[in-house]
Amino acid sequence: MAEIRIENLHKSFASFVAVRDSNFTVRNGDFFCLLGPSGCGKTTTLRMIAGLELPTSGRILLGDEDVTFKQASARDIAFVFQLFALYPHMNVRANISYPLRSQGMARDEVRRRVEEAAKTLRITHLLDRPVSGLSSGDRQRVALGRAIVREPLCFLMDEPLGALDAEFRELMCGELRALHDRLGATTVYVTHDQLEAMSMADTIAVMNQGLIEQLGSPREIYDRPASLFVADFIGSPPMNLLPFRGKVGHGDRHVRLNGVAVEVPEIHDNAGEGDLVLGVRPEHVQLTDDGAYRARVVESEYLGTTQIVTLAAADGNGLKARLPADTAVRAGDQVGLAFHAGKLSLFDAQSGRALRTRLHAEAARG
């Protein structure tokens, strides 16, 4: 098992910069997600770690070894791709054992490792079956088996669940995380699906246009997004972003949101008169008759436990609230809104960065 260190990693394709001076460390045993929209550089980063792309500049260390210019085959890693490429003419056992047999490993050892991998993945009963008749989930388990049987230093996974339908993805997310907990192997996992990242990762790096916008635990990224991009990318529905003009200073506990005073976590930052954005998660919006921030109910979407209510505020902002499913709301209702003061975020619209508040100070103190 090993730590992966990325130092000033940079990759350009002609004039296009795919990855910009990236620096991060994947701790030994970490489940690390590179998360972002398509084209953000997450797959390129992963492919450089694997040795499938060479960086334009920078270094990659696997354990203590500099592997930047080593061939993929000389790096002790296993790569799991989105589309499970199995050998259709071989049975499950032959598919899983292939990487070992091609290394010339002794037969007894191959058998032992394959059976151990199959047990870990709970597919022992399928070992002598042809792969052609397997369900997509079982095929994915076989593909994983082929990766874990090598007992590599780390796993690299490129959207391995992307091709599965939603229900199955949820199940496989749980299995992948449980597998990680059993093996304890360092894993770098690429996805564009924030829910996958939130549910599996110890650490998430949110990427945008070749840059890491934020690196932290799922909870940090959700509760204290470092930028407007992260705030908008994480959460379903994402954070409500309400623009307003104003200025704030150290120690302020209120902002004026288009004429309405809103209590916020104590601000530990300064921003002169300019364009600001108040960030409110949908579950931190409540409906109250006497709320000064007025809105009209546009639509309510039932989700079982909760409902998502789409609102059009009097100041022209659109927002969404997550409310208990038994709260009665009707399209057209005029309502007042209240926000959960202790949970709000503030951003500078120009730079897109979050303003520091009491929440950051508390997190730093732990």
State yes or no: residue 366 binds another protein (CB under 8 A). Answer: no
Q: How does DSSP classify residue 99?
A: H
Beta strand 31-35 with 203-208: parallel, antiparallel or unpaired? parallel
State yes or no: residue 170 binds another protein (CB under 8 A). Answer: yes
Q: How far apart are CA 225 and CA 233, in angstroms?
A: 10
Interface residue with another protein, options 106, 166, 328, 364 (CB under 8 A): 166
State yes or no: residue 193 binds another protein (CB under 8 A). Answer: yes
Shortest distance, position 307 Cβ to another protein, whole Å: 9
Choose between 151 and 202: whose C-beta lies nearer to another protein. 202
Sign of CA dihedral 69, 204, 318, 271: negative
Choose between 83 and 178: whose C-beta lies nearer to another protein. 178
Shortest distance, position 37 Cβ to another protein, whole Å: 8
For 163-205, what is the HEC assignment?
CCCHHHHHHHHHHHHHHHHHHCCEEEEEECCHHHHHHHCCEEE
Range 146-163 burial, b when 16+ CB lie within 10 A, else e = bbbbbebbbbbbbbbbee
Binding mask 201-240 for another protein (x = CB under 8 A): ----------------xxx--xx----------xxxxx--
Total interface residues for another protein by CB under 8 A: 34
Q: How far apart are CA 152 and CA 62, in angstroms?
A: 12
Is the bond preceding 237 in cis, omega lying within 30 degrees of 0?
yes
Choose between 220 and 315: whose C-beta lies nearer to another protein. 220
State yes or no: residue 283 binds another protein (CB under 8 A). Answer: yes
Choose between 110 and 321: whose C-beta lies nearer to another protein. 321
State yes or no: residue 304 binds another protein (CB under 8 A). Answer: yes
Choose between 109 and 301: whose C-beta lies nearer to another protein. 301
State yes or no: residue 316 binds another protein (CB under 8 A). Answer: no
Choose between 57 and 236: whose C-beta lies nearer to another protein. 236
Phi, psi of 323 (to 5 degrees): -125, 160
Interface residue with another protein, options 199, 209, 258, 286 (CB under 8 A): 199
Beta bridge partners of 57: 10
Q: What angle do CA 116, 117, 119 make, to 5 degrees?
A: 65
Shortest distance, position 190 Cβ to another protein, whole Å: 16
Query: How many CB atoms are closer than 10 A to CB 127?
Result: 19
Choose between 21 and 193: whose C-beta lies nearer to another protein. 193
Q: Within 13 Å, how many C-alpha atoms sit on residue 143's CB side?
A: 24
Which residues in the 65-104 window bind another protein by CB under 8 A? none
Interface residue with another protein, options 88, 305, 316, 332 (CB under 8 A): 305
State yes or no: residue 302 binds another protein (CB under 8 A). Answer: yes
Identity at 229, one-letter amino acid code: F
Stretch binding another protein (CB under 8 A), from 6-14, 86-94, 122-130, 279-287: 279-287
Beta bridge partners of 322: 308
By the criterion CB under 8 A, which residues form the site for another protein? Answer: 165-167, 170, 177, 181, 193, 195, 198-199, 217-219, 222-223, 234-238, 281-283, 298-299, 301-305, 308, 310, 322, 325
